[in-house]
Chain A
């Protein structure tokens, strides 16, 4: 018999309007329109069915902040290992894996997308690279990259804020950090989108194979780089991973396997650029559309402490990662709802961040919130985003340089024409034409 897994109380189910009831009856996060503008759907779920079975996705959506927090704090019952690998190329996994084995140098399951205790040792290795203090040391170099990139476009008066600035920015950072080749930036954007699409639950067989071909190309490229660094280490993260040693709980030391190393390097290339680029793209979006946003930014841009709050509230308000997967390994009761063993689940972070019981007036941009650190934009628990400090730094530097170099930022297309990447995993603006003046 299932027991209430979490010690959170069962939340009150609130009466729904006819429209909210209709959303619960007919809505699915698989719907492109809902993906682009999901907040009404989220609110209806939080009020009426906070643990909601989405028939279109055949997933359980966890939508209240408190429930997300509880689920991610129990990584054994709610498995990433199963949730993630189940979601990847969902329904077509055998073909996906076979393709990569044949064309991509191998199928390399994501070592970091695993459960404790295995996860703990892999994770430790990644954590060392990303401490806030280490990222702070990188700041001057990162600042130069961001400043120069914004400067390239400052005179032009218009650009695509996503394709010209946000994506190249995070790619340039990752190229430098990882020790990849300059000139590969466009390829890396393409590869990142292919990897993200595999967990986006929106692929047909044709797009899955097209994406698999790009992932194969990415893997071949990375394996080539790894061989170079194996022979001749440099000051970069590929060298770090290739030569890394992991200390086990019993004190024995071992190297990562080749499969683990490829998967971690691939994860570092992908995880940190698409998501952070999305956060920066969303920043341009709010600066162009939200009254008073630019003024708020200008007030705080040169104050480091206030900038930290600005960035965090932005990440709460417009979290780039929408939802990530878990699988219940046994029957589990969350907030009064039984999730059967083997069920796929999505922790809907941007609903959690919009939960009015935690963040009053959630649509308001309020940097003074006293519980900002509670937001789940980076997830939480042992799988909390490992690149938090680097992501925050990139968003902060982007915001500061926009404030210093640009003014009068406006959308160059009607807001209704903005399109979002068709995926459940992120809330990503595909292209954002803007106009502005040089400051």
Chain B
């Protein structure tokens, strides 16, 4: 068990804080392990499906950084719910620099 902290607000607006997150755990894995609503992670972390889409809260985005081209291509597939601070949870791996990270799960693409 690690010692990092992450707060995830699920797609229904319910916030949960996880202590003890291990370094290297992705937000997709964390969300799936804890049944965070809206995190599905269909492709298993391959950056190939956009079902672990999160918004990175406030100043944390600068620390997390921009998506690369491959990740952007997936976010672009859910353009109607993509924002400036969008990332795929599977591509954000926890590290000491991200201790305390806060993200909000993005809604599914519209009908």
Contacts and interface: CB of A to CB of B under 8 A. Distances in A.
A185 B48 CA distance: 28
A127 to B, nearest CB: 4
Nearest to B73: A308
Nearest to B82: A370
Interface string A373-398: 11000101110101011001000000
Interface stretch (A47-55, A129-137, A156-164, A334-342): A129-137
Given A309-B76, A370-B80, A388-B49, A133 B110 contact: no
Contacts of B40: 73, 381
B24 interface: no
B52 to A, nearest CB: 12
B111 A133 contact: no
A372 B75 CA distance: 10
B49 A127 contact: no
A373 B74 CA distance: 8
Using C-beta atoms within 8 Å of the partner chain, give the interface range for chain B. Answer: 20 to 34
B47 A312 contact: no
Interface on chain A toward B: helix, strand, loop, or mixed SS? helix
Given A305-B76, A373-B74, A127 B46 contact: yes
Contacts of A386: 43-44
Contact of A136 (B43, B44, B45, B70): B70
A380 B48 CA distance: 12
A197 B68 CA distance: 40
A343 B57 CA distance: 46
A212 B51 CA distance: 38
Interface string B28-39: 000000000000
Interface string B8-43: 000000000000000000000000000000001011
B46 A371 contact: no
B48 A388 contact: yes
A373 B48 contact: no
Contacts of B43: 127, 384, 386, 388
Given A358-B111, A370-B109, A373-B109, A131 B45 contact: yes
Interface on chain B toward A: helix, strand, loop, or mixed SS? loop
Given A357-B111, A373-B77, A381-B40, A304 B46 contact: no
A127 B109 contact: no
Contacts of A73: 40
Given A131-B45, A388-B48, A66 B74 contact: no
Contacts of A371: 78-80, 109-111
A320 to B, nearest CB: 17
A358 B109 CA distance: 10
Nearest to A368: B79
B78 A66 contact: no
Contacts of B49: 373, 378, 384, 388
B61 interface: no
A386 B78 CA distance: 19
B47 A131 contact: yes
A205 interface: no
Interface in B75-111: 76-80, 108-111
A136 B70 CA distance: 8
A344 interface: no
Contact of B42 (A305, A312, A372, A381): A381
A227 interface: no
Contacts of A305: 69, 72-73, 76
B105 to A, nearest CB: 15
Count chain B CB atoms within 10 A of each CB in A65, A123, A124, A133 and give the residue with the most.
A133
Nearest to B68: A133
B50 interface: yes
A132 B48 contact: yes
Nearest to B70: A132
Contact of B46 (A130, A308, A382): A130
Nearest to A382: B42
A308 B75 CA distance: 11
A374 to B, nearest CB: 5
Contacts of A123: 44
Interface in A292-349: 304-305, 308-309, 312
13 contacts: A124-B44, A133-B46, A308-B76, A308-B77, A309-B76, A312-B77, A370-B79, A370-B80, A370-B109, A373-B49, A373-B74, A388-B46, A389-B47
Interface of B: 40, 42-51, 69-70, 72-74, 76-80, 108-111
Interface of A: 65-66, 73, 123-124, 127, 130-133, 136, 304-305, 308-309, 312, 357-358, 370-374, 378, 380-382, 384, 386, 388-389, 392
Nearest first, the 3 closest Cβ-Cβ pairs linking A and B are A373-B77, A127-B44, A370-B80
Given A136-B70, A381-B40, 12 more contacts: A127-B45, A130-B48, A132-B47, A304-B69, A305-B69, A370-B80, A371-B79, A382-B42, A386-B44, A388-B43, A388-B48, A392-B48
